[in-house]
Amino acid sequence: MLSKSQARTFFLGGTILTFVVFLGLSWHSLSQEVPKQTNPEKLTSQVIHGKELWESNNCMGCHSVFGEGAYYAPELTKVVERRGDAYIKAALMSKQSWAPRGRKMVAYGFSEQDANDLLEFFKWVGNVDLNGFPAKPTYQSTINTK
């Protein structure tokens, strides 16, 4: 059993050690890992404008990017990889709302330039190194090969 003084020393020592480790890991992440993974050199004016459009139209109210946002509509982190440029531009420039799989997508009717900027934002988002997020599903064949 520890005495009161030993317990205090143990607590303070553990707290200080944990805090030092936390600061070291935070410094390492922010100084080396994050810049390499986010590709800041690829942040063009189109990407920035696409992000501004994403925010000003409250796309996060239905969609998520990097796992952040609502889960009403699809996750858009790797949407360019899944759907391709033409599909995304058609959805963004549509003048009529549409309901894929029963969930209604607002008809924003973006201009060609705004749709291109949003597409560039999605491309930049899709190229950020997320250490395997979102995980690619593994599909098993249901076809009997015997």
More confident position, 37 or 103: 103
pLDDT at residue 133, rounded to an integer = 66
| Residue 98 pLDDT grade (very low, low, confident, very high; cuts 50, 70, 90) | confident
Tokens of residue 115, six digits: 């749709």
Give the domain ranges of the chain: 1-38, 41-134
| Residue 142 pLDDT grade (very low, low, confident, very high; cuts 50, 70, 90) | low
The CATH code for residues 41-134 is 1.10.760.10
Distances (CA, A) of 87 to 15, 50, 91, 95, 105: 53, 17, 6, 14, 14
pLDDT at residue 71, rounded to an integer = 86
Residue 75's DSSP bridge partners are 64
In this structure, of 36-40, 89-93, 95-99, the range with the lowest mean pLDDT score is: 36-40
Contact by Cβ (8 Å): 64, 71: yes
31-40, 92-101, 128-137, range with greatest mean pLDDT: 92-101
Which residue from 130, 54, 48 is spatially nearest to 88, judged by alpha carbons? 54
pLDDT at residue 101, rounded to an integer = 73
User: What percentage of the chain exceeds 90 in pLDDT?
Assistant: 51
